[in-house]
């Protein structure tokens, strides 16, 4: 009877094969690094859910005690090192000796090098934003919507989504609390029923905006999107004044000293040159100098609220619903009035247009010089290309061809002259 090795009942061989498959899979796929919250429960799970903004499937962390977390991918800037070294502390037993090889592998005592240098940080994500696409319709409804139980609202969505069904089954209290913040609620017997309310949704979003303002924006973001956006440009009226004052000073200096013309001319040239440079530098700085003291605190607060509001709507709410909510914020029944900010931004746009126009008029005299410089650069670039082409053709030629080009052929006939047909002679009459 033939002995084959295709079938075996040994559990040892099976486990060895499984371990080898796991090792080969880990060797092929690099490890991903997740930074999780500290106080997560043992029942916290990784779930794949559709992001409310673009419906793309993304990784979340759900904890029945602390809520929902979204993983944000963080990459290191290009100038920084692109690898990370994770090294765990050496694990020792109570007697002071090192533990076995299995514990050493689990604690990464030897370290692990990640080539991609990517980290996924768990950031809090409001469950209400995840539920808004399921509850609020994309198009505005003319008729008032009816109250419905939570199971009926999410029935179609959890039917084919086991991760969303896991959240509803294991964190129903978290889901109900999120629903009550942007929906009207009513009790029907022992069951809670919900109906979407856009006014409560606006108030919920404004509460988040105010919470961000209380914590404070990062200094770089506040300077870029708030302070600089509200600063008014200084018009280039000072440009003509500085030029005129410079010329008058140089002229008066020429008139005062008339004893020695040679010495005076040299001294005036030396003294007027730095003043002219100073006038040009002052013009360039006057166009970019702003007046931050004129901006009131009310406009600064409104600008902060506007920036944070736009960010929340653009990041966490579907586009169709975000546009409708944005229109509600711009309407008369809005919980916040942005009209002073809008008027100020329109006036700033007019001032910036005037500043650019005055700057273009002042730079007209230097336009000719810039065009000459550009033409010179084009000529130099063209000449360089021609030299490179000639160099390439010389490299491709043989030595014999190069020697023949050096021969003096003046007075010699060309080879083509020997192969031309002779003209037909006319027959004598």
Six token digits for residue 65: 């005690």
SS3 content of the chain, % helix, strand, coil (to 5): 55, 15, 30
Number of neighbouring beta carbons within 10 Å of residue 50: 17
Q: Are residues 221 and 191 located together in one domain of the fold?
A: no
Q: Are residues 178 and 37 located together in one domain of the fold?
A: yes
Task: Note the pLDDT of residue 354.
Answer: 82
248 within a domain of the structure (yes/no): no
Query: Distance (Å, rounded) from C-alpha 134 to C-alpha 165?
Result: 13
169 within a domain of the structure (yes/no): yes
Task: Note the pLDDT of residue 207.
Answer: 94
Q: Are residues 335 and 312 located together in one domain of the fold?
A: yes
Bridge-based pairing state of the strands 33-35 and 118-125: parallel
Q: Are residues 302 and 178 located together in one domain of the fold?
A: no
Q: Are residues 308 and 186 located together in one domain of the fold?
A: no
Among 179, 196, 213, residue at a domain's last position: 196
Per the CB < 8 A criterion, the answer to whether 303 and 116 are in contact is no
Of 344, 309, 123, the residue nearest 206 (C-alpha):
309
Task: Note the pLDDT of residue 130.
Answer: 95
Task: Note the pLDDT of residue 113.
Answer: 73
* DSSP single-letter state for residue 398: -
Of 270, 256, 342, 259, the residue nearest 306 (C-alpha):
342
Q: Are residues 137 and 40 located together in one domain of the fold?
A: yes
Q: Are residues 69 and 176 located together in one domain of the fold?
A: yes
Q: Are residues 203 and 190 located together in one domain of the fold?
A: no
* DSSP single-letter state for residue 290: B
Bridge-based pairing state of the strands 118-125 and 84-86: unpaired
1 within a domain of the structure (yes/no): no
- For 306, counting Cβ atoms within 10 Å of its Cβ (0-12 exposed, 13-18 middle, 19+ buried), the class is buried
Q: Are residues 143 and 226 located together in one domain of the fold?
A: no
Query: What is the C-alpha R_g of the chain?
Result: 39
In sign, the C-alpha dihedral spanning 219, 223, 225, 230 is: positive
147 within a domain of the structure (yes/no): yes
Query: Distance (Å, rounded) from C-alpha 124 to C-alpha 71?
Result: 9
Q: What's the full length of the chain, in residues? A: 429
Task: Note the pLDDT of residue 268.
Answer: 41
Find the Cα–Cα–Cα–Cα dihedral 164, 46, 127, 74, rounded to 10°: -140
Task: Note the pLDDT of residue 86.
Answer: 65
Query: Distance (Å, rounded) from C-alpha 124 to C-alpha 52?
Result: 15
Write the CA distances from 183 to 35, 61, 239, 267, 352, integer angstroms.
Answer: 33, 25, 59, 82, 44
Of 47, 53, 40, the residue nearest 70 (C-alpha):
47
Query: Distance (Å, rounded) from C-alpha 236 to C-alpha 242?
Result: 10
Structural domain boundaries enclosing 333: 198-231+295-363
Q: Are residues 192 and 203 located together in one domain of the fold?
A: no
Among 311, 345, 363, residue at a domain's last position: 363
Query: Distance (Å, rounded) from C-alpha 104 to C-alpha 84?
Result: 20
What is the end-to-end Cα distance of the chain in Å, rounded?
Answer: 117
**Given strand 191-196, what is the order of strands in its sheet?**
148-149, 191-196, 183-188
354 within a domain of the structure (yes/no): yes
pTM of the model: 0.60
Six token digits for residue 34: 């997740």
392 CA to centre of own chain: 43
Q: Are residues 319 and 220 located together in one domain of the fold?
A: yes
Per the CB < 8 A criterion, the answer to whether 260 and 250 are in contact is no
In sign, the C-alpha dihedral spanning 295, 223, 203, 138 is: positive
406 within a domain of the structure (yes/no): no
How many distinct structural domains can be found in the chain?
Answer: 2
Give the residue ranges of the chain where pLDDT is below 70.
1-28, 76-111, 234-293, 359-372, 424-429
Query: Distance (Å, rounded) from C-alpha 409 to C-alpha 66?
Result: 95
Among 363, 383, 402, residue at a domain's last position: 363
Q: Are residues 352 and 313 located together in one domain of the fold?
A: yes
Bridge-based pairing state of the strands 191-196 and 57-63: unpaired
Per the CB < 8 A criterion, the answer to whether 236 and 358 are in contact is yes
Task: Note the pLDDT of residue 194.
Answer: 95
152 within a domain of the structure (yes/no): yes
Task: Note the pLDDT of residue 390.
Answer: 82
Query: Distance (Å, rounded) from C-alpha 144 to C-alpha 350?
Result: 44
Query: Distance (Å, rounded) from C-alpha 233 to C-alpha 214?
Result: 29
Strand-pair partners of 257? none
127 within a domain of the structure (yes/no): yes
């Amino acid at each position: 009877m033939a002995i084959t090795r295709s079938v075996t009942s040994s559990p040892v061989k099976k486990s060895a094969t499984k371990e080898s498959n796991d090792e080969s899979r880990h060797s092929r796929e690099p490890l991903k690094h997740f930074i999780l919250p500290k106080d997560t429960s043992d029942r916290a799970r990784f779930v794949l859910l559709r992001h409310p903004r673009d419906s793309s499937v993304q990784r979340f962390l759900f904890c029945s005690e602390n809520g929902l977390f979204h993983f944000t991918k963080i990459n290191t800037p290009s100038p920084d090192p692109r690898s990370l070294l994770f090294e765990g502390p050496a694990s020792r037993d109570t007697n002071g000796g090192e533990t076995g090889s299995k514990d050493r592998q689990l604690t990464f005592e030897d370290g692990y090098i990640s080539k991609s240098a990517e980290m996924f940080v768990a950031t809090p994500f409001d469950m209400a934003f995840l539920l808004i696409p399921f509850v609020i319709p994309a198009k505005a409804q003319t008729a008032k919507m009816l109250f419905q139980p939570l199971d009926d609202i999410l029935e179609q969505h959890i039917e084919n989504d086991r991760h969303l069904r896991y959240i509803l089954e294991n964190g129903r209290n978290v889901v109900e609390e999120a629903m009550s913040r942007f929906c009207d609620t009513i009790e029907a017997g022992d069951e809670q029923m919900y109906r979407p309310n856009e006014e409560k949704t606006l108030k919920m979003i404004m509460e988040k905006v105010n919470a961000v303002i209380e914590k404070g924006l990062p200094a770089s973001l506040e300077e870029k999107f708030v302070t600089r956006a509200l600063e008014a440009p200084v018009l280039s009226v000072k440009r003509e004044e500085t030029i005129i004052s410079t010329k008058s000073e140089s002229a008066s200096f020429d008139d005062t000293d008339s004893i020695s013309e040679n010495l005076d001319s040299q001294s005036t040239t030396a003294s007027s040159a730095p003043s002219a440079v100073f006038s040009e530098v002052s013009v360039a700085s006057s166009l970019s100098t702003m007046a931050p003291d004129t901006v009131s605190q009310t406009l600064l607060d409104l600008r902060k609220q506007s920036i944070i509001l736009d960010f929340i709507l653009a990041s966490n709410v579907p586009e169709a619903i975000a546009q409708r909510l944005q229109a509600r914020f711009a309407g008369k029944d809005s919980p916040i009035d942005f009209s002073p900010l809008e008027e100020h931004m329109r006036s700033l746009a007019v001032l910036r247009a005037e500043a650019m126009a005055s700057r273009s008029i002042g730079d007209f005299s230097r336009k000719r010089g810039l065009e000459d410089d550009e033409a010179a650069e084009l000529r130099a670039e063209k000449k360089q290309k021609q030299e490179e082409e000639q160099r390439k053709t010389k490299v491709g030629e043989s030595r014999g061809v190069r020697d023949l080009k050096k021969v003096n052929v003046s007075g010699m006939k060309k080879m083509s002259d020997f192969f031309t047909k002779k003209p037909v002679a006319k027959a004598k009459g």
